[in-house]
């Protein structure tokens, strides 16, 4: 299988999903699930009791990162784009706190939701919100840079605060990644997520569009943040 950015990729035989729909191979038991699994465990490497902050927290990757964080014994705080998404994160997925980034003061939200500041930041968004979160991190904090949603529809890159002083003084580790780094361990992630799913420890939502004539609407909806999970 060829990918213009990653080159040739091996074909992986999926494990038996049991009673779960095969469509989960496009979500929690596929690339998004493995992005969450490896990005959090291999780059953020959270310890029990630490605080994880996630932007784009109601998306397929972010919602999964938060649930894994809770399974690892961490405090999990998320930022999403609607009040309904925030309610879903808290009441359905078990996030400790979730905030609508469009209506809150980010610094005030961090003080409220992260009384011990931030140890791990899973960044799906980039932009000024990421600068604010990184400046609120603890010494030796870890940042997994997964995406840059804030700039996907922009014609030029947004201006953000200078982060070098915080990175140096707090000795932060900031690392970008693509999930195909762990191609040789692909089924490890799927099997771990499947086990948690079978045990009732993971939840998911699917937004399904039927018919090829709806593909454009589906893509536009994703870029507008209309999907949850």
Q: What pLDDT is attached to residue 138?
A: 99
- Retrieve residue 109's tokens: 């939200």
Q: What pLDDT is attached to residue 45?
A: 98
Percent of the chain at pLDDT > 90 equals: 70
Return mean pLDDT, the chain: 91
Percent of the chain at pLDDT > 70 equals: 91
**Per-residue pLDDT tens over the stretch 156-168:** 776 778 899 999 9
Q: What pLDDT is attached to residue 8?
A: 67
**Per-residue pLDDT tens over the stretch 123-136:** 999 999 999 999 99
Q: What pLDDT is attached to residue 164?
A: 93
Mean pLDDT of 55-77: 98
- Residue holding tokens 């959270």? 46
CA 23 to chain centroid, in Å, comes to: 19
Please give the angle made by the CA atoms of 123, 229 and 158, to the nearest 5 degrees. Answer: 35
Residues 6+ apart with CB under 8 A from 202: 28, 64, 67, 193, 196
Q: What is the 3-state secondary structure (H, E, C) of the chain?
A: CEECCCEECCCCCCCCCCCCCHHHHHCCCCHHHHHHHHHHHHHHCCCCCCEEEEECCCCHHHHHHHHHHHHCCCEEEEEECCHHHHHHHHHCCCCCEEEECCCCCHHHHHHHHCCCCEEEEEECCCHHHHHHHHHCEEEEEEEEECCCHHHCCCCCCCCCCCCHHHHHHCCCEEEECCHHHHHHHHHHHHHHHHHHHHCCCCCCCCCCCCCHHHHHHHHHHHHCCCCCC
Q: Is the confidence at residue 63, as pLDDT, over 60?
A: yes
Q: What pLDDT is attached to residue 2?
A: 54
Domains assigned to the chain: 21-223 (3.40.50.720)
- Residue holding tokens 């649930």? 67
Q: What is the pTM of this model?
A: 0.88
Q: Is the confidence at residue 79, as pLDDT, over 80?
A: yes
Q: How confident is the model at residue 32 (pLDDT cuts 50, 70, 90)?
A: very high
Mean pLDDT of 92-112: 98
Max CA distance (Å), the chain: 53
Q: Is residue 57 within 8 Å of 83, Cβ to Cβ?
A: no
Give the HSE-up count for residue 171: Cα atoms under 13 Å, Cβ half-sphere: 2
**Per-residue pLDDT tens over the stretch 169-181:** 999 999 999 999 9
Q: Is the confidence at residue 75, as pLDDT, over 60?
A: yes
Q: Is the confidence at residue 151, as pLDDT, over 90?
A: no
* Lowest-confidence region among 79-83, 194-198, 202-206: 202-206
Q: What pLDDT is attached to residue 55?
A: 98
């Amino acid at each position: 299988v060829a990918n213009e950015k990653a080159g040739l990729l091996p074909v992986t035989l999926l494990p038996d999903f049991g009673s779960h729909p095969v469509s989960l191979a496009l979500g929690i038991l596929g690339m998004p699930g493995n992005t969450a699994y490896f990005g959090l465990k291999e780059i953020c490497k959270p310890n029990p009791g630490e605080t994880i902050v996630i932007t784009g927290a109601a998306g397929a990757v972010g919602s999964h990162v938060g649930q894994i964080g809770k399974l690892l014994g961490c405090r999990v705080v998320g930022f999403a784009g609607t009040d309904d998404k925030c309610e879903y994160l808290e009441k359905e997925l078990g996030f400790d706190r979730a905030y609508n980034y469009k209506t809150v003061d980010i610094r005030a939200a961090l003080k409220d939701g992260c009384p011990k500041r931030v140890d791990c930041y899973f960044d799906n968004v980039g932009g000024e919100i990421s600068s604010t979160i990184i400046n609120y991190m603890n010494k030796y904090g870890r940042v997994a840079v997964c995406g840059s949603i804030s700039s996907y529809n922009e014609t030029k890159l947004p201006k953000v605060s200078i982060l070098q002083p915080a990175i140096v003084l707090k000795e932060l580790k900031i690392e970008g990644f693509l999930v195909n780094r762990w191609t040789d361990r692909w089924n490890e992630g799927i099997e771990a997520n499947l086990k948690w799913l079978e045990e009732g420890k993971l939840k998911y939502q699917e937004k399904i569009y039927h018919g090829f004539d709806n593909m454009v609407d589906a893509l536009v909806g994703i870029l507008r943040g209309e999907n949850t999970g």
